[in-house]
Amino acid sequence: MPFQRLASAIQSGPSRLRDYWKADLRADAISGLTVAVMGVPQAMAYALIAGLPPVWGLYTAMVTCVVSAVIGSSNHLVTGPTNAICMVILSLTAHLPEKYGYGLLEIVLLLTFLTGAIQLMFGALRLGGIIRYVSHSVVVGFTAGAGILIAANQIKNLLGITLDERPEHFFQVLSFTFEALPESNFFALALGAATALCVIFLPMLNRHIPGALVGILISGALAYFLGWHLPEMGASKIEIVKDIEPISASLNLFHFPQLIAPPPFELTRELGVGAAALAILGLIEAASIARAVASQSGQRLDFNREFVGQGMGNIVGSFFSSFAGSGSFTRTAVCYKSGGKTRMAAIFSAFWTAATIVLFAPIANYIPKASLAGILIVVAYTMVDKRRLIITWKSSNQSRLVLFGTLVSTLILPLEYAVFVGVFLSIVLLLRVTGQTDLTQLVQRPDSGFDEVPFNRAPQSEVVTVNMEGDLYFAAAEDLDYELLECITPKTRVVILRMKRLRAVGSTAMAILERFDEILKSRGLQLVVCGIEDSLKQIMTGSGLRTQIGEQNLFYADNKLFQSMELALARAWSIVEMERRRDDAMKKSVNSPEARIRISDIHSKRILRFGNQHQIREAVWLISEMMKTVDQKAAQPLFLQNAEGKLDSELSLWNVLQSLGNNIDPQTADVLEDEALGECMRSQFTESIGARARKDLPRIEVDASLEEALYLSKSLKLQTLPVSDEEGRLTGMATPLGMLKGLGAALDFNPEKALPKA
């Protein structure tokens, strides 16, 4: 079969090549050129961030870009030097040449090889899914922190000054730079500021103008023709690319890294942690960027393949004078928006970058270092994504903590540790969220439906039903038995656990449930379990819990919603009935001379109820649907309940109609067409029903007398009275028809006659 697919691919190759030549070649070539025009000055500037010759940024934009595009899965991801990656490279390698005596470039090549090997291992082990467990807050916080560091580190290049000492952290960078301010070169500052202004304002005039390219050409021309780069300028001489390392008009890139075979043990051990951080950061960047573009293009990505592509790009790059790279958001976005169709667009961008080296190397040598610093400061400002920071900060406490922790770590710790701090916080908070099973309680309504109320807030009852959702692995199961005991009241006889939505149930959870069952039995209570899926059934069988609880108390999940729940309730109430020593139905003897008509004799359990946080739109929908299926002799009010299922207020149909008609002009109402009338009414749909509801409702329980109901109905001018239990939860309503029946029975009272139910 594999040979058949290979033969088929070979046969279809020429036709596919012709189709590509006709349909996508031109679009990819133009898109690649657009990426290169924007990316060439950016790549040179990013190399400066890493403390490397600018030409290495161009090599990285060529080699890693081609290899990652060929092997990876994204049609638009453009790999190469990135600002955050370069900042980490500087943090990892700047102090090592002096410590170990090796050249900086050789150390960087070893770091790049190690980074690629780790990324390749991630892809080979098919660990692409782990990226989803790293919070987006890590990327936002680290990118913002890296942007601040980049700007701080480039101030010296913008001002043309040299620091006497290598700063260890952010605050030292600011301190040393401030001390060297009197030595500022105003020629360098002028060129850097001019370049930055071009980067900012030229795209505003026309988005197709490459501001960075125009800026370095203008500043380079000024420096060259004014002679600011000549040694005769003395202390005012500006530094150009040629002074760092000349760019030759050749593509002699191959260079076997001297430290790879064999790698020095101590240096490799010290670089290992940093390489892991660099690999993770690179994979996070590439995956998030590829996912963002794929969400617009509709492409389906294979992250395992993307990891292999990133790893091979860095491994091959280490043999061709390239440092570690990753997916670039700006270059990828330009590739997609400029019409790139396939991965050939990224390959074309590498081709145009190579052509730039061959054709324009003499010109590139005269680019001022201050101009590249100006570009980087603008890029650093854009890295601090204020909108994303605000959204992340406002989203949740967990996101806020991860964002703050990562950002602060980036500024005060070595960057490789800052990455791990962010990832660690992200995973710890994920475990904290998943390490607690969500517990709520289900209360059965008279109409056979269920109200879900917060845990331990349900009314006291002989049967307590606990709904369990989420994860139930060892961390979540800790102390679960004691937490479940909080729902037990003096009236409780049976506890039902609904386990339909549980995940990751393990042996620890079984031990906890076994202990809970033992505690209940020691108190004379019974445990019933429902919603048992096949996987949970197997675990319960293997652990012996199924035998301990008893098959008669276990009910398995069904495709009908709440089927097992209803069966469990029937079983629970049968247990209660067997344990009762007297019949609750005989509490009131009809033969008693003190017998009176009570609400329990006349109230109706068919009642409309709704949450008090909804809008008029939802209330209209609920009432209209109920009217379609329920034969009502009179219009019912809509009783509202709070989150605990307790009676809150009443919304009458008349109040709903009043709200819908607020925007109807009486003078034009008679000429309004149906569509216009509907629009007027829909404008009120978002009004809260709480604003229209009546709050002064009486508390009437089922044991109240008919006389009390009649008095309240008259004094409060309520046609229909809500009936609640002792906890304040709705159980039904006393309608006018029911009260009339009660009056009829009271006027001709005979204890032997049964009062007809309303």
Better pLDDT: 661 or 81 = 81
| Pick from 690, 734, 395, 489: nearest CA to 597 | 734
Which H or E run includes 639? Answer: strand 638-641
Tens digit of each residue's pLDDT (9 = 90 or more) over 389-444: 888 888 778 788 888 888 888 888 877 677 778 878 877 776 666 556 677 878 87
Which one-letter DSSP state was computed for residue 636?
P
pLDDT value of position 565: 83
Please, which pLDDT band fits residue 508 given cuts at 50, 70 and 90? low
Determine the pLDDT at residue 549.
86
What pLDDT was estimated at residue 402? 86
Mean pLDDT value across residues 595-609: 73
Q: Please list the residue range(s) of the chain that carry CATH number 3.30.750.24.
A: 438-579
Indicate the range of 21-25, 157-161, 527-531 predicted with least confidence.
21-25
Average pLDDT, integer, range 142-153 = 83
Average pLDDT of the residues in 117-136: 81
Is the pLDDT confidence value at 4 over 70? no
pLDDT value at residue 560: 72
CATH 3.10.580.10, the chain: domain bounds: 599-747
Per-residue model confidence (pLDDT) at position 755 = 47
- CATH 3.30.930.10 for domain 438-579, yes or no, is no
Angle of helix 397-412 relative to helix 386-395, nearest 10 degrees, comes to 130
Instruction: Return the SS3 of 323.
Output: coil
Round the average pLDDT of the chain to a whole number and report it: 80
- Judged on CB neighbours under 10 Å (0-12, 13-18, 19+), 38 is buried
5 or 114: which carries more pLDDT confidence? 114
DSSP-derived secondary structure letter, 497 = E
Spatial contact of 571 and 495, defined as CB atoms under 8 Å apart = no
What would the pLDDT profile of 513-565 be if each residue is shown by its tens digit? 888 888 888 888 888 988 888 878 888 888 888 888 888 888 888 777 777 88
Q: Residue 2's pLDDT is what?
A: 36
Q: Is the pLDDT of residue 461 over 90?
A: no
pLDDT above 60 (res 340)? yes
Mean pLDDT in residue range 575-584: 64
Which of these, 134, 43, 25, 108, lies nearest to 80 by C-alpha position? Answer: 43
Nearest to 140 by CA among 273, 276, 296, 285: 285
CA distances for 278 relative to 112, 117, 281, angstroms: 9, 11, 5
**Which range has the top average pLDDT, 267-271, 299-303, 653-657?**
267-271
pLDDT of residue 471: 63
Name the DSSP class of 256: -
Q: What is the pLDDT of residue 70?
A: 93
CB proximity list for 344: less than 8 A, separation 6 or greater: 20, 24, 25, 28, 32, 69
* β-pair type (526-532, 494-503): parallel
Tens digit of pLDDT for each residue in 52-69?
998 999 999 999 999 999
Per the DSSP assignment, residues forming a β-bridge with 327 are 79
Predicted confidence band at 211 (pLDDT cuts at 50, 70, 90)?
confident
Report the range out of 39-48, 124-133, 507-516, 618-627 with the highest average pLDDT.
39-48
Of 216, 173, 169, residue with least CA distance to 37: 216
Q: pLDDT category, 587, cuts 50, 70, 90?
A: very low
Q: How confident is the model at residue 308 (pLDDT cuts 50, 70, 90)?
A: very high
Residue whose token pair is 């782990």: 130
Check whether the bond before 262 is cis (ω within 30° of 0): yes
Cα 291 to chain centroid, rounded = 13
Counting Cβ atoms within 10 Å, is residue 218 exposed (0-12), middle (13-18) or buried (19+)?
Answer: middle
* pLDDT at residue number 504: 60
Of the chain, the percentage scoring pLDDT greater than 90 comes to 13
Rounded CA-CA distance 593/600 in Å is 18
Q: Residue 271 pLDDT > 70, yes or no?
A: yes
- Stated as kind and residue range, the H or E segment containing 96 is helix 96-100
Q: What is the pLDDT of residue 10?
A: 45
Which of 402, 478, 397, 487 has the alpha carbon at shortest distance from 435? Answer: 478
Give the strands of the sheet with 450-454, arranged side by side: 450-454, 438-444, 463-471, 494-503, 526-532, 554-556
What's the predicted TM-score (pTM) here?
A: 0.62
Domain 599-747 in this protein, CATH class: alpha beta
Separation of first and last alpha carbons in the chain? 74
Q: Which of 8-12, 38-42, 280-284, 443-447 has the lowest mean pLDDT?
A: 8-12
Q: How far apart are CA 114 and CA 85, in angstroms?
A: 14
* Upper half-sphere CA count for residue 593 (Cβ side, 13 Å): 0
pLDDT recorded at residue 629: 59
Q: What mean pLDDT is predicted for residues 574-603?
A: 61
